[in-house]
Amino acid sequence: MLDQMFTAENFRRIYDAENRKGIDLATRYFPTLNPFTLAVRDKVQDIRDLRKIEATMAADDFEAQLLALKAALATLKAAKSSAVDSLMDDISQRVLKSSFKIKLSQKTGPKGKPVFCIDAEPETFFVIKQLQRNIHRIYGVKQANRHDLVCQLRDMLGSKFPFELVRTDISSFYESIDRKRLIEKLDRDQLLSPASKKYIKQVLDSYGAISSTPTGVPRGVGISAYLAELYLRPVDKAIRTIPGVVLYCRFVDDIVAVFARPPAGESLGSFKDRIISIFGDNGLTHNTAKTSEFILADLNPKDFEYLGYRFILIDSQLKIEPSASKVEKYRARMNAAFDAYWQMRPISPRGAYRGLVGRIKFLTGNTRLSNSKSHAVTGIYYNNSIATDLSNLEQLDRELRVLIKALKSSSLQRQLKKLKFITGFEQRRYHNFSTRELQMIVRAWKHG
């Protein structure tokens, strides 16, 4: 049976897992660990310095000093690990107190949507993370892979079979989830521990008190994505059992379903209407502006957007380009980068120069995320890898040239003229950025 308990041992697993992802919890929550971290860092540097002068030393002397430094490093790491264990024990004791309760606060997020946050206390962070682990492990809940979904859809659209396609999404999905129905399911299943259900109810109750609504789960709180996936399982199951379904793609609330209508027998009616009816059975509604139904075999041009791409079918020929919203995001960030340059130039010309070059490199190229130990990559190619029509990127390059031409520094112009959206995509051009550089780059793009 899965250990669902909110113990020091489980919190230590969470601490180590977050550390492996490159998330520095020590700096965020535990300043008392800083001396341990610095001592380990200094000892690692001592070992590096010793290796640099290895060629100038007698082999025996080098080995002896290296062994001594490694032993000292192991001692320092053990001391830090013991300090972390002590902190995790303190947190678990605070969580056990009857006074501990999860409370949310509300902020305004992108596009003016309300986003909810947990408090800044470490015990709340670790409880939420343990809840996520419990739900994920017990129910097998996880989000679909965006890239896999769009590749499956591309391959299906590229066939010549007379499929029918429904594109839709759920209107105000997080805000529409029936909390009562969700809690009843958790209670009925009897899979989560009483403590897990207690903390989930605290999160939902706090959200209800702030939002003053009987439905919904809080955007921005870690467990909401897991609860939302769990809530949609009956929807997924019902759509997958519609006769004729050959592909069902859902990422959060964005849905595409492809059907092969049987040639004879029962009249199935509109597949779109059947999906909308399934939404209604689960207390959900569809977004009419993003809902459409196509017969792929007819000769009428058709297009729709899904997960950052625009799929266009003309005369049975498939063309894929970055979605309009994604292109507009690149454009807004590009303009914001130049605005930041002109604002900073009178104050710090060198800082403005470096900032603009860094931001345009980031926009037009690709990079490995420096805080990701999974070597995750992002950028103009990796975020648009199945695109076949790059005319939107060519337009961005034309707009970039106009902005570069307005600059007064010829050396800055020369630097920036080397950077193009098309080149970054076609040549998969990479740029390396430190964590500090990435923080500087994104500073100009709040909510963008």
DSSP character at residue 161: S
Mean pLDDT value of segment 279-287: 95
What tokens does 265 get? 């027998």
Contact of 189 with 141, CB cutoff 8 Å: no
* In the chain, domain spans: 8-100, 146-305, 325-444
- Distance (Å) of CA 99 to CA 14, 40, 51: 23, 37, 53
CB-based burial label for 160 (10 Å; 0-12, 13-18, 19+): exposed
Mean pLDDT value of segment 54-72: 94
Q: What are the backbone dihedrals phi and psi of residue 158, each rounded to the nearest 5 degrees, phi first? A: -75, -10
Q: In the prediction, which pLDDT does 401 show?
A: 96
Alpha helices in 265-390 (DSSP H): 271-281, 324-344, 349-364
Q: In the prediction, which pLDDT does 111 show?
A: 73
What lies within 8 Å, CB to CB, of 312 at 6+ separation is 301, 302, 303, 318, 319, 320, 321, 389
Q: In the prediction, which pLDDT does 248 show?
A: 96
Q: In the prediction, which pLDDT does 372 show?
A: 53
Question: Binning pLDDT at 50, 70 and 90, where does residue 445 land?
Answer: confident
User: What amino acid is encoded at 47 in this protein?
Assistant: I
- Distance (Å) of CA 18 to CA 26, 71, 80, 129: 10, 26, 16, 10
Mean pLDDT value of segment 282-296: 92
Convert the pLDDT of each residue in 213-232 to its tens digit. Answer: 999 999 999 999 999 999 99
Which has more pLDDT, 268 or 122? 122
Which is it for the CA torsion 110, 111, 112, 116, positive or negative?
A: negative
Convert the pLDDT of each residue in 315-334 to its tens digit. Answer: 878 999 999 999 999 999 99
Contact of 318 with 271, CB cutoff 8 Å: no
Residue 264 pLDDT greater than 60, yes or no: no
Q: In the prediction, which pLDDT does 114 show?
A: 86
Q: In the prediction, which pLDDT does 2 show?
A: 76
Of the candidates 323, 272, 322, which has an alpha carbon nearest to the alpha carbon of residue 295?
A: 272
d(CA 363, CA 53): 41
Four-way CATH pick for 146-305: 3.40.630, 3.30.70, 2.130.10, 1.10.3470: 3.30.70
- Percentage above 70 pLDDT, the chain: 97
Buried b (16+ CB within 10 A) or exposed e, 261-300: eeeeeeeeeebbebbbebbeebebebeeebbebbebeeee
d(CA 394, CA 345): 28
Q: What are the backbone dihedrals phi and psi of residue 310, each rounded to the nearest 5 degrees, phi first? A: -110, 120
What tokens does 137 get? 């492990």
Residue 309 pLDDT greater than 80, yes or no: yes
Q: In the prediction, which pLDDT does 17 show?
A: 93
Q: In the prediction, which pLDDT does 284 show?
A: 96
Helix (H) or strand (E) holding 153: helix 146-157
Residue 290 pLDDT greater than 80, yes or no: yes
Average pLDDT, the chain: 92
Q: In the prediction, which pLDDT does 127 show?
A: 97
Residue 429 pLDDT greater than 80, yes or no: yes
Residue 152 pLDDT greater than 90, yes or no: yes
Q: Which residue carries 């995790």 as its tokens?
A: 88
Mean pLDDT value of segment 20-41: 92
Mean pLDDT value of segment 20-33: 90
Convert the pLDDT of each residue in 96-117 to its tens digit. Answer: 999 999 999 998 877 778 899 9
d(CA 397, CA 421): 6
Mean pLDDT value of segment 188-202: 95
Mean pLDDT value of segment 156-175: 90
Which range among 18-22, 80-84, 107-111, 437-441 shows the weakest confidence by mean pLDDT? Answer: 107-111
Contact of 431 with 361, CB cutoff 8 Å: yes
